[in-house]
C-alpha cells in the first residue's frame, strides 16, 4: 500500500502487468493479481521462488482468478511453503485459499497488530484493509529461515508499514523481497495506529546496512541499486518532516491544512493517505518533543512547534 505521490524517488519505473507468470530472474517468477488501483499500482506481486518444489510469497487478495491462475501455472510443481510479508488484505488472504488447495504451510508474519492502542474517540483509518483472520502455521522471527531445493528465504523484521511486516532475504539470488516496506513506484503508507513512522525509519536504516543487489517489492517493478534507493527514501521522509515543521511554524495547526500546503496537486483519491502520512510524522515529532499538541496526538488534534507553543487552554 503506497502514497503514490509525485515526489517519490524512482529508479525503475517498469510496471508489471497482471495475469501471467513471468520469469524475472533465474530462480524467481512473478504473477501480479488483478487488484490494480491508486494504492496497489498494477496489482499485488506474488512471487514463486525455485522450481519443482517452490515457495510462494504473498499470494495476494482472496481473488479466485489470481489464485486459480497461479495454481494452473504451477501444475506439476509442489508448493512447499507459503510466505506472507504482512497482514493487509491485498497480500495475505490468498494464503488461506492457496493452503486449502496445496496443503502447504503458511509461514512468515504473525497476526495483525497495531503500533499502539486506539486513542479516545479514534477510529483506525486503515481498519478495512487489515486481515485480522491471518494465523500462520509458523511465525518467522528475525533471522529464521525456510529452505527448499536451491533456495533459502530468511526473515528480516521491518516494522513500520505494519508492525508485523517482514522482508525475506534470498541469498542464492542476492535479492530481498521487500513487501510494502520499499517499493520503486511509490512511497509507503505509514498510518497510525496501524503503523509507526519511527519504526519505519529504523527499518529503513536496518536495510541500508544490507548488501542485496535487487529488491522485489509487493507492488511495481524491482528496486535496482537498493542501497542508494533506500537512502533516497529516508531523505524523502526527512524532507517531508521538514516541510511539516515549516508549515507548523507558519501557523498551520491541523493535518488538513498541512496536507493542502505540502501535497499540492495531489490526486484527490490519495488525500486520505497523505493525511495519515502527515499524522504519522506529527505523532513521531510529538514523541521526540519537537512538536506539541492540544490533548493526545490524534488525526484531528491541533499541533504546534514545541519551542513556540502558546497557552492553548482557551483554543
pLDDT digits (tens, 9 = 90+) for 124-141: 655 578 999 999 999 999
pLDDT bracket for residue 7 (50, 70, 90): very low
Res 276 pLDDT > 50: yes
Long-range contacts of 208-214, Cβ-Cβ distance < 8 Å, separation of 24 or more = 208/234, 210/156, 210/169, 210/176, 212/169, 212/174, 212/175, 212/176, 213/174, 213/175, 214/25, 214/173, 214/174, 214/175, 214/176
Q: What is the pLDDT of residue 265?
A: 85
- As a whole number of angstroms, the distance between CA 210 and CA 152 comes to 17
The per-residue pLDDT for range 65-90, each reduced to its tens digit, is 999 999 999 999 999 999 999 999 99
CATH superfamily for domain 21-235 = Ribonuclease Z/Hydroxyacylglutathione hydrolase-like (3.60.15.10)
- 42: DSSP letter: T
Q: Are 155 and 108 in contact (CB under 8 A)?
A: yes
Please determine, for residue 287, whether its predicted confidence score (pLDDT) is greater than 80.
yes
Residue 204, pLDDT score: 97
Q: Is the pLDDT of residue 10 over 50?
A: no
Verdict on whether the full-model pTM lies above 0.75: yes
- For residue 311, pLDDT beyond 90: no
CB 16 within 8 A of CB 47: no
How far apart CA 37 and CA 43 sit, in angstroms, is: 7
| pLDDT confidence bin for 308, thresholds 50/70/90 | low
Residue 13 has pLDDT above 70, yes or no: no
The stretch 156-165 carries a mean pLDDT of 97
C-alpha cell at 128: 478495512
Amino acid at each position: 500500500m503506497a502514497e503514490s505521490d509525485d515526489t517519490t524517488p524512482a529508479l525503475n519505473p517498469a510496471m508489471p502487468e497482471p495475469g501471467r507468470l513471468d520469469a524475472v530472474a533465474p530462480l524467481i517468477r512473478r504473477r501480479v493479481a488483478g487488484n490494480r488501483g491508486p494504492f496497489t499500482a498494477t496489482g499485488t506481486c506474488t512471487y514463486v521462488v525455485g522450481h519443482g518444489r517452490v515457495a510462494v510469497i504473498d499470494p495476494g487478495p482472496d481473488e479466485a482468478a489470481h489464485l486459480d491462475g497461479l495454481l494452473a501455472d504451477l501444475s506439476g510443481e509442489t508448493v512447499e511453503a507459503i510466505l506472507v510479508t504482512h497482514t493487509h488484505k491485498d497480500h495475505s488472504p490468498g494464503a488461506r485459499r492457496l493452503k486449502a488447495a496445496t496443503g502447504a504451510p503458511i509461514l512468515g508474519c504473525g497476526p495483525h497488530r497495531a503500533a499502539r492502542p486506539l486513542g479516545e474517540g479514534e477510529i483506525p483509518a486503515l481498519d478495512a484493509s487489515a486481515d485480522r483472520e491471518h494465523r500462520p502455521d509458523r511465525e518467522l522471527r528475525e533471522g529464521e529461515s525456510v529452505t527448499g531445493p536451491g533456495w533459502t528465504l530468511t526473515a528480516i523484521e521491518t516494522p513500520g508499514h505494519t508492525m508485523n511486516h517482514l522482508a525475506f532475504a534470498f541469498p542464492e539470488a542476492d535479492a530481498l523481497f521487500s513487501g510494502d516496506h520499499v517499493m520503486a513506484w511509490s512511497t509507503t503508507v505509514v498510518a497510525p495506529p496501524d503503523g509507526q513512522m519511527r519504526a519505519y525509519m529504523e527499518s529503513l536504516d536496518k536495510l541500508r546496512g544490507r548488501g542485496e543487489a535487487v529488491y522485489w517489492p509487493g507492488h511495481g517493478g524491482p528496486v535496482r541499486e537498493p542501497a542508494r534507493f533506500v537512502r533516497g527514501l529516508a531523505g524523502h521522509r526527512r524532507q517531508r518532516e521538514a516541510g511539516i515543521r515549516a508549515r507548523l511554524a507558519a501557523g498551520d495547526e491541523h493535518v488538513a491544512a498541512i496536507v493542502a500546503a505540502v501535497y499540492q496537486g495531489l490526486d484527490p483519491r490519495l488525500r486520505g493517505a497523505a493525511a495519515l502520512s502527515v499524522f504519522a510524522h506529527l505523532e513521531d515529532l510529538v514523541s521526540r518533543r519537537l512538536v506539541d499538541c492540544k490533548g493526545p496526538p490524534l488525526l484531528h488534534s491541533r499541533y504546534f512547534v514545541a519551542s513556540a507553543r502558546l497557552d492553548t487552554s482557551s483554543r
